[in-house]
Amino acid sequence: MIKRIVLFLLLAGVSPHIYSQTNGQIFLSLNKISNGKSSSSNALDISKNWKFQLGDSLQWVLPTYNDENWQIRGTMIYQDSIPASENTGLYCFRLKILTDSSLFNKSLGLIITQYGASEIYLDGKLVHKFGKVGNTLNQEKDYNPAKVPIGLYFDSSKVHILAIRYSYQHLLNIYKKYGEIASAAGMRISIGLLNESILAQNNSVLESTALNLSLFGIVVSLALLHLFLYFFYKTRITNLYYSIFSFFLALNFLFGFLMGNTSNPNTIVIIRIISIVTMVFIFLFFLAFIYSIKKQKLPKKFKLFVLYGILITLIPVFVNIISPKILNIAIYIFAIITLLGSVGILINVIIKRVEGSWIIGFGGITFTLALLFNFSVEIFHLSNVIPDETMTLIMYLGIASLPIFMSIYLARDFAGTNKNLSQKLVEVNELLQKTIEQEKRETEVAIEREKEKARLRETELQTIALEAENDRKAKELEEARKIQLSMLPKKLPNLPQLDIAVYMETASEVGGDYYDFHLSDDGTLTAILGDATGHGVKAGVMVTAIKSMFISNHLQDDIPLMFHHFSKSINELNLEYMYMCLAVLKINGYKMRLSSAGIPPFLIYRKSQNSIEYITMKGMPLGTKTSYPYAESEIMLTPGDAILVMSDGYPELFNASNEMFGYNKIIDVFRETVNSTPEGIIDSLKKSIDNWKGNTPTRDDITFVVIKVK
C-alpha cells in the first residue's frame, strides 16, 4: 500500500510529461515530439504501454501479425515482475505508431539504453542490431548502445509497426547471483529528430564526463588536503575521518564516469557491485565524522557498525549460501540506520548550539535526504516515473552539499583556531615591546618571512591548479579522440576481387577526416572519404554526424541524392561555418560509380595502358546553403587497376621552406608503386610525407584510401 501511494504521488508530480500512449499504440507528430522531449536527450520517452510477449519468433515482428492477446507493459522491465519459471531471458515488444503529415519523409532518431541484445524492426524490416540476440549465454552477445541514436525514416504511411526482439541471458545469470543489483532487465526507449538527438548525445557525453571527473577531482583534492591537515595536526581526528569519507565519495564519482563510458552491461553491473562496498565505507566514516564533531571518542556501539559493514562487504563472496534479497535488505538497513543515526547526532549538536554546528548540520541532513531519495528510487523502481533531470539534480546537489558544508565547517573551525592564535601572538608582541626592542624587530622579520612563504605557497597552489586544469582538458580531448576513432570501421571489407588499405594522420587530438565502408547484400561496396572544415572538437562533431547519416543512407543508390540528404542534415545542425567535403565510390564487380563534393581529384592507374587517369569532379562541400547539381561518373575497371582517393591535407602538405607538395609529386609516387599491394602503396605515400615535411608540423589531417582490382 505504501509503495502504491508513493508511486501515485510521483506520477502526479510528473504528469505534464505523460502523453497519449495506450494499448500498445502511440500517436506521434512533430509538435508532440517537440513538446514532450527531455532536455537531456532532446527526445520523447516512449517506454510505456508496449505489446509484450515472452519468447521469440520472427513472425512476431511482421506488421501483419495479430498481437491482440499480448500483454501491455513498459519496456523497462524488472526481473522480479516475471515468474522465474517463465523467464527464459527472451522477449518481443511491439508498438503501433500513428503519424500525421508533419513526420512524413522525416529522419527520426531512436535512442535505446539496454542491458542485453536487441534487434529493431520497422514495418517488418530490420533497421539495426545492438549485440546478438540469443537464447543461451554462448549465443548472446550483449551490448548497451548508451543512447547512441539510430535513424528511422518514416515515409508517407500513417501507420507503422515498431518491433523489438530482445534477450538478456548474461544479466539473467548475474541476477540469479546478485539479485536486485542486476534487476533492471528491459530497455528505456525514446524518439526525437535525428540531428537534434545526435547533437544532444554528444553534449550529454561531454557534460557527464566533465561533471563526474570534475567532482572526482574536487573531492579527491579535499580528501588530500584534510589528510595533510591531520598529519600536521593529529589531535584533530576530524580531518582524518573527513579525508577517508571524501576519498570513498570520490570513487563513486569515478564509478559514475566509468558507467557512462562503457557499453558492456556486465561491466556496469560489476561496477555497481563494487560501488556497494565503497558506499559502506562512506556511511561508516560519515558517521565517524559526525561523532567527532561532538569532540568525543567514538562510542563502543560504533564497533557494531564497523562489524556490520565488514560482513556486508564479505557477503558477496558467499552468494551461493546467502539469499541476494537478504544482502539487499542488509545494505538498505545499514545505510538507513547510519544515516538516521547521523541526523540524530546532528540535531542534538544543533540543539546544544555547538559552535558552527548549523553549517555541518545543514549539509549532513541534505546529504542524508538525497541518499534516502536514491534508496526510494531503487527500492520502489521509481526510475520509470521520475524525469532523469530531476533525479540527477537531486542526487548531485545532495551528495555535493555534504563535502561543501563539511569543508566550510572545518575551514571555519581552523580559522577560529588561527584567530585565537593570532590574538595570543599580539599579546606576546605587546609584552616583548615593553622589554626588548631588538626582539620586536626580529619578530617582525620572522613575520615577513612567513608572509613571503605564504605568498610563495599561494603561487605554488595556483600553478598546481593550472596544471590540473590543463591535464583535465587534455584528458577530455583524449576522450573525444577515442570517440572519433570509434567511428572508423574496425576492419576493412574482404572482397574476392578487391584489395583495400587506408591511412589517416590527424593534425590535432581530434581530427576532421573520416572514411567508412559498407558491403551490400548484392555485393556492392560503398566507400566514402570525408574532410570536415578544419580540425578539433567541432570537426569531430561533424564526423560523428556524418557517421550517423552514412549508417542511415548507405543503401541509397543515387550518390548525388545521398549528397543532398547529407547537406540538408548538416544545415539543420546549425554548425556555423562548418562543412564536409566528401567522396563516394560504389563498386560492383568491375563497374565503379563515383562522385565528389569538394574532395581532391581521383587517381586511377590503368594496368592495361600503364597510365594514370586524373579524374576531377567539381562539387561544393556538403552543408552549403546552395543546392548544387552534383555529377556522377561511371567507370569500368580491369584487373590490376588501382584507385587512390585522398583528402586535401596530402597535396597541401608544406615543408620547412613553406613549399607545397602538390599533385605532380603524388602522381610520381603513385606511379612508382602501382604494382605493389595497397599496403605497399600506402607505405610509399607515408614515406613521401615524412621525407617532404621533415620536422615541420602537419597543418591539416591527411587521409587516403587505396583500392586495387584483382
403 neighbors 216 (Cβ within 8 angstroms): no
Alpha carbon distance 503, 222 (integer Å): 45
3-state secondary structure 356-398: CHHHHHHHHHHHHHHHHHHHHHHHHCHHHCCCHHHHHHHHHHH
Question: In which band, very low, low, confident or very high, does the pLDDT at 492 lie, cut at 50, 70 and 90?
Answer: very high
* H or E element, residue 276: helix 265-293
Residue 460: helix, strand or coil by DSSP? Answer: helix
Tell me the three cell numbers of residue 650: 596530402
Contacts with 586 (C-beta within 8 Å, 6 or more apart), sequence order: 524, 525, 526, 527, 557, 559, 592, 593, 594
The pLDDT value recorded for residue 17 is 40
Amino acid type, 230: Y
Q: Which string of b and e fits 423-445 if b means at least 16 CB within 10 Å?
A: eeeeeeeeeeeeeeeeeeeeeee
Question: In which band, very low, low, confident or very high, does the pLDDT at 509 lie, cut at 50, 70 and 90?
Answer: low
Of 80-94, 245-259, 419-433, 544-558, give the lowest mean pLDDT range.
419-433
Contacts with 217 (C-beta within 8 Å, 6 or more apart), sequence order: 468, 472
Question: In which band, very low, low, confident or very high, does the pLDDT at 679 lie, cut at 50, 70 and 90?
Answer: very high
Tell me the three cell numbers of residue 370: 538525497
The pLDDT value recorded for residue 4 is 34
User: For residue 193, which of 160, 145, 144, 154 has the smallest C-alpha distance?
Assistant: 154
HSE-up of residue 561 (Cα within 13 Å, Cβ side):
6
HSE-up of residue 569 (Cα within 13 Å, Cβ side):
30
Mean pLDDT on 683-704:
91
Of 364-373, 380-389, 488-497, 551-560, give the lowest mean pLDDT range.
380-389
Question: In which band, very low, low, confident or very high, does the pLDDT at 463 lie, cut at 50, 70 and 90?
Answer: confident
What are residue 507's phi and psi, to 5 degrees? Answer: -80, -15
Query: Is the confidence at residue 50, as pLDDT, over 80?
Result: yes
Of 221-230, 301-310, 555-564, 643-652, give the lowest mean pLDDT range.
301-310
The pLDDT value recorded for residue 295 is 64
Mean pLDDT on 418-432:
74
**How high is the mean pLDDT of the chain?**
81
Alpha carbon distance 164, 187 (integer Å): 10
Query: What order do you get walking across the sheet with 602-606 strand by strand?
Result: 498-505, 702-709, 642-646, 602-606, 611-615
pLDDT in tens, 76-109: 887 767 777 778 889 999 999 999 888 888 888 8
Q: Which CATH class is domain 490-709?
A: alpha beta
pLDDT in tens, 160-212: 999 999 998 887 777 776 655 555 677 889 898 888 777 777 777 777 777 77
Of 16-25, 371-380, 504-513, 632-641, give the lowest mean pLDDT range.
16-25
Q: What is the CATH number of domain 14-194?
A: 2.60.120.260
pLDDT in tens, 565-586: 999 988 888 877 789 999 999 9
Question: In which band, very low, low, confident or very high, does the pLDDT at 429 lie, cut at 50, 70 and 90?
Answer: confident
For the entire predicted model, the pTM comes to: 0.45
Mean pLDDT on 677-693:
94
Question: In which band, very low, low, confident or very high, does the pLDDT at 378 lie, cut at 50, 70 and 90?
Answer: low
Other Cβ atoms closer than 10 A to 618? 11
The pLDDT value recorded for residue 2 is 32
Domain coordinates of the chain in residue numbers? 14-194, 233-417, 436-486, 490-709
559 neighbors 632 (Cβ within 8 angstroms): yes
Tell me the three cell numbers of residue 657: 621552406
The pLDDT value recorded for residue 695 is 87
**Domains 14-194 and 490-709 in one fold:** no
